[in-house]
Amino acid sequence: MVLRFHKHHLKGLKLQNILFVFVLVSFVTPQCFDYLIPHFRIVIYIMRIIAISLFILIYKVSFPNKNDHILYFLSFSIILFGAGQSIAELIKTIDPLAIRFVLFYSGFSLIFIRMLKKNPKVIIKILFYLLGIYNIIQIISVAVFFPNGMTPWLGTGTSKAVYFLGGKNQAFVFMLLFLLVFSIKSISDKGKVPKTIFVIISIFIIEGYILDSMATVVCLELLLLCYTMDVAKAHKLIWRILNPYILLLIISVIFGVFCIANSLTDFSRTSAIAGILYKYNRNLTFTGRTFLWQQAIHMFLKNPILGGDGEFLIVGISLNQAHNAFLDILCKYGLISFVPFLLFLLCFSSAILRIKNNKRVYVIVSISIFTLLFHCCFEYMDMYVMFVFAFLILAITKGMINTNLKVGKTV
């Protein structure tokens, strides 16, 4: 009888994991399919509805325990964020499909909550393999289809090329997620970060240089420095300042300096910062991004509560994103979604305080959060990827707490 129970439990666990993979693939989808497959968005919506329905029908719906304040407020902020988007879109466009935001975000959160309660290590393991496959295919697509990408009909050149994971700047978040998962899995299994992490980061940096994505290169070089200091046992130099709240403050200061510097004509022409950027074929407008940010702010001010239509114009080219995740949400959906988004950021960045006694893991997770937010200052962020990142942080902290993990602690 006991043997039968264990077999049944094992089969149920495998089915749950398969459904979870299906959920992940339907929500975190490589961007190339949007261009390669006609009406792909409709296919994805159907896949998401099927995935959520199957998961909820087969397994009981799990709600966060009120004692777990971080998970409770994180999931609440995600659902509230989706509700804000749905309300904003319904009022502005009168499109009933706008309800999809709150429905998809709610289902996505509830599934992750169940997985976190059952076995958070499974989330880490599944993400390790899925993100590994994604990044391998991305590297192959760059090697085969560079410089015009997999969709040459969109135009030639690296700025318009689309590869497996999307445009030249979209792959970074998948790189960052994989490096984080790979590091934590290695620390959990072997007690240390393997030296192969340097090879992987170097390959990603080369990919960033090839695609002319300076945001990716800068963020990866920052990560490389962090891992180098980790191997050199240099935690005392950095681990105290890598507090999530301090990192959020640093992000705000950096963004403010860039905006002020761009507004000062003389400074933008003669400063040392401008000289450094010029060497990388950049300037203090960050390839026109500051113009988009100004448009986003004006759009937000016209309708602070619900936001505007999200259409931007630069050099006669129409764009649908502000090249800044924070301003993009603020101008498109207004305060009704931006406030829950800030609560979301506060919740998932606060989660790492649970593991601050494990200096190695604390530093790796903190620097990953920092580079993610830094990248968000210059690029649009797929919100489902952001949510996966947040739940991954919770899986790391919860897995360590539940198993009393002590590996990787600096002596």
Q: What is the pLDDT of residue 190?
A: 82
Taking alpha carbons only, the member of 175, 342, 167 closest to residue 251 is 342
- pLDDT band at residue 159, thresholds of 50, 70 and 90? low
Torsion of CA 168, 33, 81, 293, to 10 degrees: 30
Q: What is the pLDDT of residue 8?
A: 42
- 308: pLDDT strictly greater than 90: no
Q: What is the pLDDT of residue 335?
A: 93
- 289: pLDDT strictly greater than 60: yes
- 244: pLDDT strictly greater than 90: no
Share of the chain above pLDDT 90, in %: 23
Other Cβ atoms within 10 Å of 112 Cβ, number:
27
CB 167 within 8 A of CB 35: no
Copy the structure tokens of residue 342. Answer: 């800030």
- 269: pLDDT strictly greater than 60: no
3-state secondary structure of 407: coil
| Residue 333 φ/ψ, nearest 5 degrees | -125, 0
Of the ranges 2-11, 136-145, 199-208, 354-363, which one carries the lowest mean pLDDT score?
2-11
**pTM to 2 decimals?**
0.84
Q: Rounded mean pLDDT of 3-32?
A: 71
Neighbour-count burial of 301, counting CB atoms closer than 10 A to its CB (0-12 exposed, 13-18 middle, 19+ buried): exposed
Q: Rounded mean pLDDT of 166-170?
A: 85
Copy the structure tokens of residue 165. Answer: 């994971």
Q: Check the CA dihedral 380-383-387-392 and report its sign.
A: negative
Q: Rounded mean pLDDT of 349-378?
A: 82
Extract long-range pairs of 190-197: CB within 8 Å, 24+ residues apart: 190/407, 191/407, 191/408, 192/407, 192/408, 193/227, 193/230, 193/231, 193/360, 193/364, 193/408, 195/231, 197/227
> For the chain, what are the domain ranges?
2-403
Share of the chain above pLDDT 70, in %: 74
- pLDDT band at residue 389, thresholds of 50, 70 and 90? very high
- 305: pLDDT strictly greater than 70: yes
- pLDDT band at residue 10, thresholds of 50, 70 and 90? very low
How far apart CA 349 and CA 366 sit, in angstroms, is 8
Q: What is the pLDDT of residue 278?
A: 56
Q: What is the pLDDT of residue 172?
A: 92
Q: Rounded mean pLDDT of 368-381?
A: 85
Of the ranges 238-247, 301-310, 312-321, 339-348, which one carries the lowest mean pLDDT score?
238-247
Q: Rounded mean pLDDT of 299-323?
A: 75
Q: What is the pLDDT of residue 177?
A: 94
Q: What is the pLDDT of residue 280?
A: 55
Q: Rounded mean pLDDT of 22-28?
A: 91
- 50: pLDDT strictly greater than 70: yes
Of the ranges 115-129, 250-264, 283-297, which one carries the lowest mean pLDDT score?
250-264
- 281: pLDDT strictly greater than 60: no
Task: Give strand pairing partners of 318.
Answer: 313
- 240: pLDDT strictly greater than 90: no
- pLDDT band at residue 138, thresholds of 50, 70 and 90? very high
- 211: pLDDT strictly greater than 70: yes
Q: Which residue has the higher pLDDT, 279 or 353?
A: 353
Task: Give strand pairing partners of 319.
Answer: 312
Give the chain's mean pLDDT: 79
- 33: pLDDT strictly greater than 90: no
Q: What is the pLDDT of residue 271?
A: 53
Other Cβ atoms within 10 Å of 258 Cβ, number:
19
Q: CA of 411: how far to CAs of 235, 353, 357, 359, 365, in Å?
A: 10, 19, 12, 10, 19
